[in-house]
Amino acid sequence: MLLPALLSSCRPKKPGTRCSCLEQAAESNALAVVNWSMSTCGPCQRVKPAYEQMARSRPGTLFVVVDLQASVANANLVEEARTRAYPTFHLYRSMYRVHETVGSNMADLAD
């Protein structure tokens, strides 16, 4: 599955254009980790500090959080990504999903 073109933590420079950080990730074959979550989800909030620490410790990887409840655009992305449980983590390389981890077990994601 292709990485959705619009992500909440990656803002395009111009409206209607693609996020440059996603373009750079795709061109460099960098890994992108997407945390699909909800602000009212207890497990989502519990993994947030570990996810942020993971992002700080892996500077060559793009880490993004998409909160289903933050906007209609995010809700559409969640539907497009076929995310049904929260938190769900998708790993993308060259814009294609290469791995999925469902649930709050950060050890699964770290592997």
Q: Which residues are catalytic?
A: 41, 44
Instruction: Give the integer Cα–Cα distance in Å for 99 and 15.
Output: 30
Assess contact for 56 and 27: CB atoms under 8 A.
no
Question: What is residue 29's three-state secondary structure?
Answer: coil
